[in-house]
Structure 1
Amino acid sequence: MRNHKIEDKLREILQDKTSGASILSQKLIEVIKTKSLQTKSEKEFSTFLKKLQNDLKDNHPLLFQLHNVVYLIQKSLKSGGIKVALTEIEKIEQGLNISIQKITENFLKWLNLKSIKKFSTATLSYSGTVLNVLKNVRSKIHKVYIFRSCPNCEGETMAEKLAENGINVYLVNDFAIDYVLNNVDFVLSGCDAIFEDGKILNKAGTSSVFKLAKLSDKDTIVLADFLKITHLKFDYKKLARNAFTIKRKEKLTNLDLIFELVSAEFISNYITDFGIFTNQNLNSNEIIHPTSKMFGLR
């Protein structure tokens, strides 16, 4: 029997083009867990996951965190059936529930290593991870500059949510990078994936901000949970086909870049729930690891 409530929630997730991957992952896990508890057979649940996998490829091909969730549950289902799959779902759910706390703790350790007691920062788009970490450290924030992140302008939602939590927010247009970098201590970003070569996938504009930040001698920090670190094979040519939208009107062609890759050379640190991974030579500390070790923890 079809469950229209589950179908409606899945449709909402698949059609959501503004929320970050972490926010959508929480919603996706809730739906999958509900389905696993209601399903009558392993075959039925396997069919559901396979269809979901295909739907995600069609609607969110570049949100690797969502794909990782389904992949891990499919793997556990094959190895031990629905009972093992449900255990994996609960493990992922618990991991995400504590990931923000751990990322916040490691971010505070990084601030301490840098002897930063109060800071101004810049970010872009709408990252649930960045949002929640900044909310947790609001007492240390002087200002947060948020780029609008056109064409979808997800930064406006991010700015409103931070302002609602009493944080001093400046919503700025996407061309104000140079001005903003002169007024911040470092740059923060979430991401949709971290690949084994250290590249990240994130909303368009991240690469420009990070490159100019490096030229301005500002640290560039990526905040990410364990599900963003992916071993899934990725065809970079596929990115070119899915990273932008094209609309034609008479003689005019409108091209909007939505996603882009950011090279590891422009990223100072990855702060995750596993620890702090760096591309720079910092003082020896047990929570500091070279980025090459990050992928052995996934």
Structure 2
Amino acid sequence: MNTVEIPSTNAFWQEDSFGFIKPEEFDSLGIDIDDIPPGTIPARKHPSILKSRFGGNAYGFGLYELFDRLSSQEAELLQTVSSENTEQIKRHYKQINRIYYRIGLLKRYSRPGKSYFLIPVHLAFSSLSRMKNKADEITKIIAFHRKKFMQENHQIGLITHAEDFLVNDLSLRFKEHQFIVLDSFEKLNPWSEPLDMIILPRDLTQILLTEHFIPHREDRPSSRVLDEYAFYLIGKIYHLLKPEGELFMIADYYTPKTKENIRVAFKTPPEERNFVLFSHIFKTQKKYQARGKPMSINRVDFQAYLNTPYVEKEVLD
């Protein structure tokens, strides 16, 4: 039987964006501990898109992997069972979980037929660290804006969902400001008072895919559709601002594909192990081994490790 080691600090549970599931909740939610591989933590939410070790989305439905890695019976099972039909899933959840494990997917089903997700440990910790860094950066932006306009109180729009850790964090840091969550086009209709500032804590593509700006669909929208929604979103945001209002966006830097290697020295053995684990779970240029000394790492692989994926708003009831 697997054992699931999850940090027990209160901050870990209060600040996580994935909605981690505590071990004491497993029985009530119908989660089999044997379905949780070592090095992962079960959660209610998940990064939107991560390449599995065989290609495709690690949080997808296995369709990419169907053709060359599954038997005809397994392929037929995944194709016939609907993710919306909990009765079907309840009957086959053990088989589905075994298939997902074998093809490297990080999605599982509980006994009641509800989905949950597996978050690699390194993502769990890097997510918390990155959220704090992002909040620190936004704090600097707000402080600069206050000095620039010599105004103590601001109405600030945040293009994110209400459960985002940033909302509570910034509200505690700046009790004198009013933060308004804008997570759908309906909420982007003109307010009684224009906003002093609007902050986008992720890039536009991530926001469009993870919030309520695009109608739900099984496939990823095309680049043309995303561009159209992005232009429309920016237009709506612009009309919410005061004439002197400001718009800020904080987004990850994406490294162009390259074969260039860089020399990386990890400060601690756990940090090195986290990177090695990442390279074995997700699709990287090569699989790395912990050697206790500086290693040569592909620049794209290392950047992918540093960039914590954004979180999809999927919840286990």
Structure with larger Rg: 2
Higher strand share: 1
Give me the TM-score of the superposition, normalised by structure 2. Answer: 0.34
**TM-score, normalised by the number of residues in structure 1:** 0.36
Higher helix share: 1
